[in-house]
Every structure is written in structure tokens, then in C-alpha cells.
Structure 1
Amino acid sequence: MLDIVIEARKASIGPGMDVRRILPFRLRRMVGPFIFMDHAGPIELAPQQPTNMDVLPHPHIGLSTVSYLFGGQVTHRDSLGVQQVIRPGEVNWMTAGSGIAHSERFEDPAALAGGQLEMIQTWVALPENEEELAPTFDNYKPEQLPVFTDTGVWMRLIAGDAFGLKNNVKTHSPLFYLHVVLQQGARFGLPREHSERGVYIAKGSVEILGRSYSIGQMLVFNKGVDPVIVAKETSTLMLLGGEPLGQRFIWWNFVSSRKDRIEQAKADWKEGRILLPPTDNLEFIPLPEDKSRPASSPAPEALS
């Protein structure tokens, strides 16, 4: 049966940059290892309009960030010295592990014109025995990601395995992540090999068991349930899930199985022990004032 319907909430991560926040949700913190999901855009800005949308250098621990664009482009810089222009259809997988800082800057005005910029970002929690891995960053081009097509169906495997598809995107626990486009009337299902499965409607609307669902909703299904998803119009879906990892704590941009590790990360960022990107080190996001914020609620500055 359908376990829960999550309604995206509006969150602001900076001037001019409001997002739909899907995970974490108070009644459903994670789907498989996925602990965070934001949908940004489409952003409507004229080429001559100034913007302060850039996400300044900020830290992470205990997770992988996964950036996936529908349109536009973003420049990623991190404390490993990586500088990567992220383009639509690529998978950008940054494993923070023991600690990394990065920025995301929107440096091409043309990429912001006409509502082109649109992206999904997720965070994938790391297994306990890999939370302190050395940080890494990998960029995978669209041609490295398998695509399946059928009548009215287009599907790209972003990471993991599903429907017999696999790719070389390096993951740390069993999961799946798919970008699916359905034409009106097309029918689709969910991969059966994973315990926890969610469907986020990024565009359009679908019908399941006679009920309609639309943009901004995530549907989470129990194991053993095999729903038939029918597109009411051309629709874009993000399917994700996998095997649960157990309890995780999240505060601002930090994720860990241990509260004391998050406290250490706070101190490390405040004291400058997490290095800034060497090519973007003149400004950064300071540690937010705590004000007894629950450890399960990320601060609004966090997109990635």
C-alpha cells in the first residue's frame, strides 16, 4: 500500500533561490539511504538581472551529495581543488565522508534566462563504517548512464540498479535513482528489488489506483506493493530508494549516526578545520546560530 504522501515545502536557500524541499519530512526522515531532497527551479531571471543565488562555500560530513540538472548549469568548486561545470543529464556525486567544503555558483547569465535553470539535489547517507571516508568528487557524463525507452517511456539510471540496469556511478549502499519521463497515457511501475521506494513528481501529474497526484508530491510505497503509475499528461518523475541504513541525525549540512560527531563538525567548521575550496576561499557561510535547533531539521541555507 501507499505508505505516505509527502508534500514539498517551500524553503529559501538564499536571495532569489527558493526550492521545494521534499526530504527530510517530519513523518518520513529517509527513503532508503536518501535523507535529503531539494527541487530548485525553474528559475525565471532575465540575462541582465543581477542575482545573489550563488551558494557560498559550506561544509558537509557523513553523506554524498548528488546534483542532477534538468536545465542550465552550475559551477562546483570544493576543498579537494575540483572545479566542475555541471550540465544537464550529468551525475555529480560528491562524497563528503570525514569532511569537505564546496560552493555552487551560477556564473553564466544565459543559463539563467527563460527559466532554464532547474536542478534536483539529494543527499545519500553513508553506512556507519564509511562515514569517515576520505572525501571524493566524481562527474559522470550522460553517455555513461544507461537509458531505456519503450512506448511512451524514457528512463535514465542515475545511480544504483533497477529494472536490470546498472552503471558505474560509485555508491556505498544498495540503492536506485532514476529519471523517468512518461508521455500521456503511459504506464510505469516501481523496481521490486529494493525495500524502500519513492516517486517524486517533478513535472506533470499521474494516477495510481484511481487517485491523482501532481507536481511537488512524493509517494512512498511499502515493500511488496507494485503500483501501476499512469501519466495523466507528459510527466517527469524521479524514482529513488534502496535499503535503510538505520537512524541518522541531521543538522544544517551535517549527517551522522552519532550526535557527538555533528557537534565535532560544528566546532571544526567554526574553527576553520574544514578547508575552503582553494579557488573559492574569500567568503563562506558561517555556522548558523543553534538556538536549540532539533538535530533532524536542516537550516534553510543548505542546498548542498
Structure 2
Amino acid sequence: MRMRRRRSRAALALVTAAVLGAAGCDSGGGASSAAHSRSGTAAKAKPSPTPVWDRSPSSVAAVGDSITRGFDACTVLSDCPEVSWATGTESSVDSLAVRLLGRTGAAERSWNYAETGARMADLPAQITQAVAHGPQLVTVMMGANDACRASASAMTSVADFRTGFETSLKSLRRALPKTQVYVASVPNLKRLWSQGRTNPLGRAVWQLGICPSMLADADALDSAATERRDAVQDRVEAYNKVLEQVCATDVRCRFDDNAVYDYRFDTDQLSHWDWFHPSKDGQAKLAAMAYRRITAPEPVT
């Protein structure tokens, strides 16, 4: 009897050890549990990865054309960068830079290298100027002047437009690997024509040479004029597709998903000097659109 009891206790001990061993392997990580018991310290949790997109950049550089220069928003045929949607400091606009950096920060840590009349071919040089400051965010609004030529046949080809944008983005990325890029779509030029053509002052200013491919003979509705405007509109849409596609190849680039193109500017958002460029109110709307997309956790669609 005593022999049988000793054998039973020994067998029970072996079964218990086997069960505990199996539980140790299944209950929390096998080898790591053993390592924990040997070292007496728990394995540290891995830190969360830093998000690729920074929703609060500390400096902003703007490149682009007359829209980003605030052209015709204050006086006729003149730049007015203080009301620029990207870097302006006037309170009525509440620019992107002011929203991100505060008024003092916008004055000290934002730069505007856009040029009235600039086309995509001019973007590489603007990028070179911008990267000298090492901005954490670069805004791009370019393409209207590539469509706004003396005639529809003189518009920048889609292939050349793509090459210019690809070259610019690659140049920026080589110089500033972690700088973010916000790309605004080209506005709907045909809608701007339809809104402004009812104003006699606007039509008079258009005759001075503003976007003739779209705005020339503003009252003409014959088939030739309609075909010309449609060709310009098709080219703008093609440019926006290029901006979207090229931006999508860069993890730190956000396209506005055609927010500017789709926005239904009315006469309140148009310059009362030329009824084509954004007014101060229009600049404020552009700033709000950009801020919403830049500060969103994920791209806004």
C-alpha cells in the first residue's frame, strides 16, 4: 500500500508539471515568459510609430501663381500678398499660415514665392527658393496660367505639365526628405467666366489680357467660342488629374481632391476689379479648404 501511494504521488507530480509547462507556453508568449522569469523584468512595449503626415507644421512656404499672390484682391492689376490664402497676415482672410502658426508665427515663419503669371515651367525655380528656408510644409497652386494662354492651341501640353510637376516634386524631396506638400487643384475657369461675364467692369478688364483663351469675346456663344472654352476646360481637368497622380506617388504629398476646382465661386468670392481672381472672401475660402485638409488625420475626400 505504501509503495502504491508513493507511485501515485510521483505520477501526480509529473502530470502537474506537464500541465504547468503547457500553460506557460500558451498563456503569454512562451519564450518571452521564460525570459521574464529569468530576468525579472517585463518586455517593454514598442513605441507608436510617428505619423508620416504632421497635422501641425511649424513653417510654411507657398509657391504658385497670381492666386497665391492675392492678385486683384485689393487694387486693380496688382499683387496683394497680405491677403494670400496661403501666407497672408490680414485678419479678414485668416490665411493657412495664420491658422497653423498664429499671426506672429505667420509673419516670421512663412514665405511666399508665388509669382503672378507663373506657369508650371516656373515651379522648379520657385521650389529652389522655398527649400532654402527648410519649411515643414510647402503649398502648391499652379496651372491656371498654363491654360490661360493667348489661344487654346498655346496651352501647355499635358506631358510638359506632368514633367514640370514631377521635376519640382523630386527636387523638393531631394532637398527636404520630410517636408510635406499640399497641392491645390486648378480652379474651374469656365465657371469663373460664367460668373464674371455678367459684369461690365469685369469684361472691360478682361480685354486687357486676362486669360484670353477662356475670357476673350466673353459674350460670344457661337460654336467656335464654345469649343474653345471647352478645350480649355478639358485641359484644366487633365492638369488636375496629373496633380493628383503625381502627388499620389509621394507619401508626404496631399492633393485637395479637386476641392478648389469643385468650389462654386460666386460674385462674393471674386475680385470686384476683374471678376475672375479671388476676392478677399475668396482667399478666405481657399484658406479654409486647405486648413481642413492639412489638419485632417486622413486625406479628406
TM-score, reference length from structure 2 = 0.26
Which of 1 and 2 has greater Rg?
Answer: 2
> If each structure's helix is expressed as a fraction of its own residues, which one has the higher value?
2
TM-score, reference length from structure 1 = 0.26
